[in-house]
């Protein structure tokens, strides 16, 4: 309470300060005369934002490494039963015929030509223990899902920076723990904690980027933020090539997180979150430092913050101070937008991971195939950049979902003999999903108001994890009917494209701050609040 009073007194102390004119102010005021203090104070994009966003984007490398490392830590390995010794073994090398009796095999010899030691060979995850490898992958995705929820909620309550640092430290400690634990069940626990931290770094880092850049550069920053994930995807193939032992690979993907500890000095708290929480004094300090770095002049930051706060005080409701996940569906407009964007996240998670796994069945060198599957996503990111600026977020998501869905449906009718065409269609599906994933990231970051943005983005990312958990099971339907996987991967994106028609366009719009902003965002107002400034002054 004392902190809030101090902040109000700080703003009030500058109420009589002369405001210096700024020709760019009109670019940061929406149709309802809502002042965007962050953009006015530091500009749309400057040196300060570039440094912070580049630093934060590095977190996507370990995000990709930890999520995808299972491909090289638990690959398919050939094996032969060695104990007990006998002349006749079952075809699957799980049973042995000994003196007319059928008994289980106890020891196996593994093919170690490519990988000297894997999780499978170290703990004998074969035969009746094969499901443990699948359990590990499920736990990994569930941990990411849980991290999205927990750290998303923490970031909305305690700021973006502290949860980000906690998740980085947890990722570092649990990653090392994965490499040294002597028991498989302990490994599962460490993997859960590592995935929890990975989910936390994903949701908090992205929101910081969205809240410091201007509306004109959100699309570009979203694309550049995704590229390190694709580069991490590609580089993992190189790391796995050099570190063939799974424990060495685990250490190799974990130790670089030490560099991320520098975020404590490099990454600031989000000034937009500080303003939303009524911490104007601290917000002014960060904005002034950013303005100095960007060499922005002729802007009276305390006066700009004062105007911003007056508008937010006028619009703020008691619900804003108790924002929770349920605020995403409490009001009609927010409910429709939330459900529509959540479904599209499920489609993106299932489509990107599922089609990537589907294309992996073509065979060949595991390292080359994996690197190519990462490289093919980069063009999709740049296509998304161009399309989001040219066509807007909604049209881009509709088109990319439609292209991916139609490409997958064509896989049903294309003969298996035309392998090159099937490969081309699958690649087109991956590129479409890559564009959709990049677009939906930005779209959801702009749809949700500041007071629940981390909860919203976290819940959205959680939906993507649900899709990625289901994806392997969809691919496995190929053993039942060959047309089932492409049918599911084709129909769901088309449904997602249809739901986009219920969403408003967010390109060039000021980010909604309060729950009232979020509910009204996308609605056509009948009348404008002409006397908002005077009423706000009276309320203040």
Q: Are residues 149 and 63 in the same domain?
A: yes
Note the pLDDT tens digit of each residue in 30-64: 444 455 777 888 888 888 988 888 899 899 999 98
Question: Which structure tokens are listed for 299?
Answer: 């802007």
For residues 273 and 38, is the Cβ–Cβ distance under 8 A? no
Give the range among 30-34, 312-316, 387-391 with minimum mean pLDDT: 30-34
In 3D space, the residue among 270, 292, 272, 265 whose CA is nearest the CA of residue 55 turns out to be: 265
Note the pLDDT tens digit of each residue in 118-153: 998 888 888 878 777 767 877 888 888 888 788 888
pLDDT of residue 259: 92
The pairing of beta strand 101-104 with beta strand 79-83: unpaired
pLDDT of residue 523: 66
Give the range among 166-180, 261-275, 371-385 with minimum mean pLDDT: 371-385
* Arithmetic mean of pLDDT over the chain: 79
CA distance 196 to 175: 11
Q: Are residues 468 and 486 in the same domain?
A: yes
Answer yes or no: pTM beyond 0.75: no
Note the pLDDT tens digit of each residue in 212-239: 888 778 777 777 887 898 899 889 989 9
Q: Are residues 85 and 151 in the same domain?
A: no
For residues 274 and 292, is the Cβ–Cβ distance under 8 A? no
Q: Are residues 53 and 105 in the same domain?
A: no
For residues 212 and 38, is the Cβ–Cβ distance under 8 A? yes
CA distance 511 to 395: 19
For residues 166 and 198, is the Cβ–Cβ distance under 8 A? no
Spatial neighbors of 483 by CB under 8 A, at least 6 apart, are: 412
CA distance 200 to 174: 13
With respect to residue 106, please indicate whether it lies within any of the assigned structural domains: yes
pLDDT of residue 23: 36
With respect to residue 134, please indicate whether it lies within any of the assigned structural domains: yes
CA distance 278 to 12: 13
With respect to residue 528, please indicate whether it lies within any of the assigned structural domains: no
CA distance 313 to 307: 10
Note the pLDDT tens digit of each residue in 171-197: 999 999 999 998 998 999 999 999 999
Spatial neighbors of 291 by CB under 8 A, at least 6 apart, are: 41, 42, 299, 301
Quick check: helix, strand or coil at residue 16?
coil
* DSSP assignment letter at 125: -
Q: What is the mean pLDDT of residues 328-353?
A: 84
Residue 253 has pLDDT above 90, yes or no: yes
Highest mean pLDDT among 94-108, 177-191, 356-370 belongs to 177-191
Q: Are residues 205 and 254 in the same domain?
A: yes
CA distance 349 to 490: 14
With respect to residue 24, please indicate whether it lies within any of the assigned structural domains: no
With respect to residue 538, please indicate whether it lies within any of the assigned structural domains: no
* DSSP assignment letter at 318: G
Total domains in the chain come to 3
- CATH at residue 370: 1.20.1250.20
For residues 519 and 334, is the Cβ–Cβ distance under 8 A? yes
With respect to residue 18, please indicate whether it lies within any of the assigned structural domains: no
Q: Are residues 331 and 472 in the same domain?
A: yes
Residue 108: phi and psi, rounded to 5, are -135, 155
pLDDT of residue 242: 93
With respect to residue 363, please indicate whether it lies within any of the assigned structural domains: yes
Q: Are residues 362 and 234 in the same domain?
A: no
Q: Are residues 140 and 193 in the same domain?
A: yes
Q: Are residues 137 and 260 in the same domain?
A: yes
For residues 515 and 451, is the Cβ–Cβ distance under 8 A? yes
| Angle value at C-alpha 171, between 165 and 172, nearest 5 degrees | 95
Range of the domain at 103: 79-110
With respect to residue 393, please indicate whether it lies within any of the assigned structural domains: yes
**Residue for token pair 């976290």:** 458
Q: Are residues 84 and 160 in the same domain?
A: no
Residue 97 has pLDDT above 80, yes or no: no
For residues 486 and 337, is the Cβ–Cβ distance under 8 A? no
Examine the fold and report which residue of 234, 268, 302 is the final residue of a domain before the chain moves on.
Answer: 268
In 3D space, the residue among 216, 168, 162, 202 whose CA is nearest the CA of residue 49 turns out to be: 216
The pairing of beta strand 95-98 with beta strand 101-104: antiparallel
Other CB atoms within 10 Å distance of the CB of residue 128: 9
Note the pLDDT tens digit of each residue in 236-250: 989 999 999 999 999
**CA distances from residue 45 to 86, 216, 518 in whole angstroms, order as listed:** 71, 9, 24
Beta bridge partners of 79: 110
Q: Are residues 95 and 64 in the same domain?
A: no
For residues 76 and 115, is the Cβ–Cβ distance under 8 A? no
Residue 22 has pLDDT above 50, yes or no: no
Residue 43: phi and psi, rounded to 5, are 85, 170
Q: Are residues 340 and 257 in the same domain?
A: no
């Amino acid at each position: 309470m004392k902190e809030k009073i101090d902040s109000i007194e700080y703003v009030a102390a500058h109420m009589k300060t002369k405001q210096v004119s700024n020709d760019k102010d009109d670019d940061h005021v929406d149709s309802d005369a809502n002042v965007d203090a962050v953009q006015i104070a530091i500009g749309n994009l400057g040196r300060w934002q570039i440094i912070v966003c580049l630093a934060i984007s590095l977190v996507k490398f370990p995000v990709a490494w930890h999520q995808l490392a299972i491909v090289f830590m638990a690959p398919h390995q050939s094996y032969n039963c060695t104990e007990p010794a006998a002349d006749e073994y079952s075809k699957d090398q799980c049973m042995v015929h000994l003196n007319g009796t059928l008994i289980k095999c106890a020891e196996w010899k593994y093919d170690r030509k490519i990988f000297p030691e894997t999780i499978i060979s170290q703990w004998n995850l074969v035969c009746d223990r094969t499901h443990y490898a699948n359990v590990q992958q499920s736990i990994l995705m569930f941990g990411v899902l849980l991290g999205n929820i927990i750290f998303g909620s923490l970031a909305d309550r305690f700021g973006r920076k502290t949860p980000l640092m906690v998740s980085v430290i947890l990722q570092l400690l649990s990653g090392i723990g994965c490499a040294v634990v002597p028991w498989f069940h302990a490994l599962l626990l460490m993997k859960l904690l590592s995935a929890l931290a990975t989910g936390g770094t994903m949701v908090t880092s992205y929101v910081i980027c969205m809240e410091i850049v201007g509306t004109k550069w959100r699309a570009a920053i979203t694309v550049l933020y995704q590229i390190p994930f694709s580069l991490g995807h590609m580089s993992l193939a190189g790391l796995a090539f050099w570190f063939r032992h799974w424990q060495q690979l685990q250490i190799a993907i974990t130790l670089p997180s030490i560099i991320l500890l520098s975020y404590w000095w490099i990454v600031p708290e989000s000034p937009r979150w500080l303003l939303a929480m009524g911490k104007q004094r601290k917000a002014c300090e960060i904005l002034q430092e950013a303005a100095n770095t960007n060499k922005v002049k002729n802007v009276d930051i305390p006066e700009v913050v004062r105007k911003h706060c007056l508008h937010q005080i006028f619009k703020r409701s008691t619900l804003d101070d108790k924002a929770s996940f349920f605020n995403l569906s409490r009001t009609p407009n927010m409910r429709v937008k939330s459900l529509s964007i959540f479904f599209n996240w499920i489609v993106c998670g299932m489509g990107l991971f599922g089609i990537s796994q589907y294309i992996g069945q073509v065979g060949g060198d595991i390292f080359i195939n994996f690197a190519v599957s990462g490289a093919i996503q980069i063009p999709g990111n740049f296509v998304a950049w161009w399309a989001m600026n040219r066509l807007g977020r909604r049209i881009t998501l509709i088109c990319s979902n439609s292209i991916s869905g139609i490409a997958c449906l064509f896989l049903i009718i294309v003969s298996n003999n035309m392998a090159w065409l099937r490969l081309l269609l699958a690649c087109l599906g991956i590129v479409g999903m890559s564009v959709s994933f990049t677009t939906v990231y930005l779209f959801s970051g702009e749809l949700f108001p500041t007071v629940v943005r981390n909860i919203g983005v976290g819940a959205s990312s959680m939906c993507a994890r649900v899709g990625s958990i289901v994806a392997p099971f969809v691919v496995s339907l190929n053993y039942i009917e060959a047309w089932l996987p492409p049918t599911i991967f084709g129909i769901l994106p088309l449904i997602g494209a249809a739901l986009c028609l219920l969403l408003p366009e967010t390109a060039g719009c000021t980010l909604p701050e309060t729950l009232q902003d979020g509910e009204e965002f996308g609605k056509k107002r009948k009348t404008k609040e002409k006397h908002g400034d005077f009423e706000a002054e009276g309320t203040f």
